[in-house]
């Protein structure tokens, strides 16, 4: 599933075509995706101007001038492409042709900018929903999400407090969207490596006995933010389904330190360890046991 950097990359790619433009009409080519479309889904979008395009965790949020918000999730295999007036996809600097079967083009937004924004989702695990902005705090899909890891409020004290007393592993805590929003398996593995922290370490050890953030909490926050910013700058990671709106692949996978590097030499200078993989909570964890403690 796309993680925060991939969703942020998609958001930035959609901005030129959607932000400030009017949705002239919306085609829904099936009854729904992961969930059925609302009966008035297309009607609530028709003629509305997208005043802003934001992101919350792994959700895209298009603010409409009606006071509604279009909430969108890519699911496992969802992707957007922006098509110009002549029917050609807008290429990027590192353009890669798309291979998706057009039979999976399930939603098409016809924008006043002259572009078509097409949502393609072979597995149909994505979702779209129109909700009133005033009701966002009560929206079940968003309620309970933790802080944004790139937000100003996210710091060592906040993370240590969220993990204090937890008896789960540090990796499990970071994957809990109630602790911090938007992180997934790839970037948790990478951040833990950069912070030199074991994925098996108890989450509670981010806080001291007095409840203050330990130094390892500060290192971890810095590592999380560094790896996310680097991944966003690289267009995200393309392992299976992720494409940018231009059709180009993200290339942060070429910068992985440990993820999917099982058997490789640890990249830490002076470390003689080997990157290992083990299954943790049903997911592959990659780490260097020699320098992650």
Q: Which residues are catalytic?
A: 2-3, 58, 283
Q: At what angle do helices 4-18 and 215-233 cross, to 10 degrees?
A: 40
What is the helix (H) or strand (E) element at residue 287, kind and residue range? strand 283-287
- Give, as one character, the DSSP assignment of residue 59: E
The Cα–Cα gap between 103 and 109 comes to 16
* Number of CB atoms found within 10 A of residue 242's CB: 25
The Cα–Cα gap between 196 and 210 comes to 23
What is the helix (H) or strand (E) element at residue 173, kind and residue range? helix 170-175
Work out the angle at residue 5's Cα, subtended by the Cα atoms of residues 102 and 234, and round it to the nearest 5 degrees. 90
């Amino acid at each position: 599933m796309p993680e925060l950097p991939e969703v942020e990359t998609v958001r930035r790619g959609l901005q030129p075509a959607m932000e400030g433009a009017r949705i002239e009409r919306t085609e829904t080519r099936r009854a729904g995706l992961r969930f059925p479309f609302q009966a008035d889904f297309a009607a609530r979008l028709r003629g509305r101007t997208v005043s802003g395009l934001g992101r919350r965790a792994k959700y895209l949020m298009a603010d409409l001038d009606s006071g509604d918000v279009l909430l969108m999730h890519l699911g496992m295999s969802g992707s957007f492409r922006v098509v110009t007036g002549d029917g050609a996809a807008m290429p990027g600097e590192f353009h890669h042709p798309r291979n998706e079967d057009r039979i999976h083009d399930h939603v098409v937004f016809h924008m006043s900018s002259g572009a078509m924004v097409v949502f393609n989702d072979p597995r149909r695990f994505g979702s779209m929903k129109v909700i009133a902005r005033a009701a966002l705090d009560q929206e079940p899909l968003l309620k309970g999400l933790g802080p944004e890891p790139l937000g100003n409020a996210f710091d060592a004290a906040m993370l240590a407090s969220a993990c204090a007393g937890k008896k789960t592993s540090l990796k499990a805590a970071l994957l809990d969207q109630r602790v911090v929003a938007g992180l997934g398996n790839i970037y948790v593995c990478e951040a833990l490596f950069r912070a030199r922290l074991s994925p098996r370490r108890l989450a509670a050890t981010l806080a001291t006995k007095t409840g203050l953030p330990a130094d390892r909490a500060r290192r971890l926050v810095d590592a999380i933010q560094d790896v996310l910013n680097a991944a966003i700058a690289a267009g995200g990671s393309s392992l299976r389904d992720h494409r940018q709106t231009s059709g180009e692949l993200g290339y942060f996978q070429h910068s992985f330190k440990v993820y999917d590097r099982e058997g490789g030499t640890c990249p830490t200078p002076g470390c003689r360890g080997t990157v290992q993989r083990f299954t943790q909570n049903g997911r592959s964890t990659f780490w260097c046991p020699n320098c992650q403690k």
